A and B are shown apart, each in its own frame.
Chain A
Amino acid sequence: GENVEQHPSTLSVQEGDSAVIKCTYSDSASNYFPWYKQELGKGPQLIIDIRSNVGEKKDQRIAVTLNKTAKHFSLHITETQPEDSAVYFCAATYTGANSKLTFGKGITLSVRP
């Protein structure tokens, strides 16, 4: 089955700086890669996703890049703000079957004001 690894496990940045979170996946059949933000006591919130036929996708301050050859994808957050502080999860799935998501262990992002 799919295995998703996420690193680093914690990241601290100064407000206004950029943050980059990287993930790797193992199953070359995976073709959909969402990113979720989870705040304390809440469920994961979908913030951006990318499909395997696209190399990069951007939505305001966040962007995701995908390298299918290397089987890794990254989340980029620019101009970080204190409200970006949360746990971020990457996930992967193959949408041709049940689309069950396999998640990484998450990274805790702290934005220092």
Chain B
Amino acid sequence: DTGVSQDPRHKITKRGQNVTFRCDPISEHNRLYWYRQTLGQGPEFLTYFQNEAQLEKSRLLSDRFSAERPKGSFSTLEIQRTEQGDSAMYLCASSLPLRGSRPYEQYFGPGTRLTVT
């Protein structure tokens, strides 16, 4: 297992365009989290899934954002009608292995850096 992967690593888009990011969690991790990180700040929680169910969304997640996790495996985060304020690093993390002694540890992927011009 190679850890959490995210694709693409970088995305440059023009204001008003739609973008979609993908996250592949560590296999058998049934919790998946999305965070957003802006320059000089710590990651901020956006939303999380337990298996395929999206159980919580932050106030930061406006109506232009939507996330899915079909079949409880990979997840996608879509931003519609992007704005310059959406420019940030979007991080994915997974946790809670079905078996094991460390159920709370969240492991992060490398992130997708979004630049909206």
Tell me the A residues contacting B by CB distance below 8 Å: 4, 6, 32, 34, 36, 41-46, 49, 51, 89, 91, 93, 95, 98-106
Report which residue of A46, A49, A93, A95 has the largest number of chain B beta carbons within 10 angstroms of its beta carbon: A46
- How distant is B68 from chain A, measured CB to nearest CB, in Å? 18
Interface pair A101/B106, CB less than 8 Å apart = yes
* B56 and A44 form a contact (CB under 8 A): no
Complex contact B104–A49 (CB within 8 A)? yes
Tell me which residues across on chain B come within 8 A of A103, comparing CB atoms.
Answer: 42-44
Check if B95 is an interface residue, CB within 8 A of chain A.
Answer: yes
Tell whether B65 is near chain A: CB-to-CB under 8 Å: no
Asked if residues A45 and B42 are in contact (CB atoms below 8 Å), the reply is no
Q: Are A106 and B42 in contact, with the CB atoms below 8 A? A: yes
B residues adjacent to A (C-beta < 8 A)? 4, 6, 31, 33, 35, 40-45, 48, 55-56, 91, 95-96, 103-111
Least CB separation from A51: chain B residue: B104
CB <8 Å contact, B108 and A98: no
Q: Top 5 A-B pairs ranked by shortest CB distance?
A: A103-B42, A43-B108, A100-B45, A43-B110, A44-B108
Q: How far is the CA of A46 from the CA of B104 in the complex (A)?
A: 11
